[in-house]
Amino acid sequence: MIRITRKWAYANGGRPYRIFIDGVYYDEIRVNETKEFEVEDGPHTVYAKIDWYRSNELCVDVNDSIMTLEVGTPMTGWKLFAGPLYATFWAHKYLWLREKEIVDAPPEDVTD
């Protein structure tokens, strides 16, 4: 299974990203949403799109566990003013897709 979370960002906040797995459209994902996609075990390629912009293509190897990814845009803060640059020269950087870091919970305090 592949789980994808979309991080909040002001840019495109009201517009969905389209999720593709192995070149096939699966579904849309909106801000602060998490979706799960059933896929067979083995290698898969995943990317997201909005309009003509496309994220990096991520190769993942799915096994019995859940592969957790996150998608977003670097257009936050001052980068919102760089919109024309992203629309032309940096179109390939308009979206990003990466494995989500899973932070282990701190060990419980065991006292005797």
How do the domains of the chain map onto residue ranges? 2-99
Q: Say if residues 27 and 36 touch (Cβ distance below 8 Å).
A: no
Q: Say if residues 12 and 79 touch (Cβ distance below 8 Å).
A: no
Tokens of 79: 């980068």
- pTM higher than 0.95 for the full model? no
Classify domain 2-99 by CATH number. Answer: 2.60.40.1120
Question: What b/e readout covers 16-41, taking b as 16+ CB neighbours within 10 angstroms?
Answer: ebebbbeeeebeebebeeeeebebee
Nearest of 39, 40, 51, 52 to residue 4 by alpha carbon: 39
Mind listing the pLDDT tens digit for each residue in 41-98?
A: 999 999 999 888 889 999 999 988 888 999 988 766 656 565 666 666 656 667 889 9
